[in-house]
Amino acid sequence: MNMQGNFEDAHKQKLTIIGAPIEEGAGRLGALMGPAALRTAGLVRTLEELGHPVEDRGDLRLPKVLPIVPPVAGLAHHIEKIAAWSRMLSAETYEAMKHGSFPVILGGDHSLSMGSVSGVARYCEEHNRELFVLWLDAHSDFNTPSTSPSGNMHGMSAALLCREPGLEGVMGDEPHGFVKPENLHLFGIRSIDSTERVLLRERGIDVIDMRKIDEFGIAKLMRGIIERVQRANGILHVSFDVDFIDPSLAPGVGTTVPGGATYREAHLVMEMLHDSGVVGSLDVVELNPFLDERGKSALLLVDLVASIFGRRIFDKPNLSDQSAAALNA
């Protein structure tokens, strides 16, 4: 899999779309409708129009027989279901990358990243490539069962990927990889629990909160992450939570936090990622159509995903045309 060079040749990169209608990790129902909303908003068609060969694998289904997960110390709601989703997703992303494809996972809540990133990490370990993760999110998602105040597992994804104790049973003996704590970049953060704050400092996680973005500028901070990946000849996984964006622009999410990225800040991040040529996989998570306003959030997400795959400003249809196309699809 060639991740080097500029993505001007990105139309040659096959994309594998994997729907993960999971909501068991969240505190509110509705995220399971996310993959359908993104398809309705024109995601697949948009990527194809950009010249990408797209294979839409449809949505994964939770198996009737769930894995047995040992009891954990603390709160971890629906851990057996999360384990089943995670193991399926890990296998799917690993197989996609193994066959030279770029996996795009449509969520679903952020617990899906436990599986999707584990599969990507496994691929990177086997091919001696350093994996970096860009976590675009309002929350740090670094709780464990023993620290989580809610027990909702979408707030534990990053902790599992960095091998925090208490979550070993999620992946069990299934083959999977991990993320080095120093290679995790939490970007756009606005809400951190006190116990998470301690762990993040102890593990040396790179936390770029909105204060830092306001002070130093989003382009400079993004450039620093991209250059680090490039120097290591690494692969970057992007885990994109809807609540990275300000809720005035994207209200369709169950965990809104004011003060998020603006429309142009979000697009700049995606445009810089496209130009970097280092991105190898993508999650789009936490879209809750039940909480959205006439598809507003889904349409914006499609627009932003198009930017990471090469659509430039002068290629972009106006919003009214885009909305009409989605509604008439």
Q: Which residues are catalytic?
A: 110, 137, 139, 141, 154, 241, 243, 286
Task: Tell me the binding residues for Mn(2+).
Answer: 110, 137, 139, 141, 241, 243
Nearby residues of 123 by Cβ (< 8 Å), 6 or more positions away = 93, 94, 97, 98, 129, 177
What residues pair up with 15 in beta bridges, in sequence order? 54, 102
Distance, C-alpha 153 to centroid of its chain: 15
Nearby residues of 216 by Cβ (< 8 Å), 6 or more positions away = none
SS3 102: strand
Helices vs. strands in the chain: H and E counts, helices first: 12, 8
Nearest alpha carbon to residue 99 among 85, 84, 119:
119
Tokens 């964006």, residue? 245
Task: Tell me the binding residues.
Answer: 110, 137, 139, 141, 241, 243
Q: Is residue 97 a contact partner of residue 281, using CB atoms and an 8 Å limit? A: yes
Angle at 209 between CA 205 and CA 214, to 5 degrees: 140
Nearest alpha carbon to residue 244 among 288, 280, 282, 284:
284
Q: Is residue 269 a contact partner of residue 244, using CB atoms and an 8 Å limit? A: no
Return the amino acid letter for 29: L
Nearest alpha carbon to residue 86 among 122, 57, 134:
122
Beta carbons within 10 angstroms of residue 285's beta carbon:
31
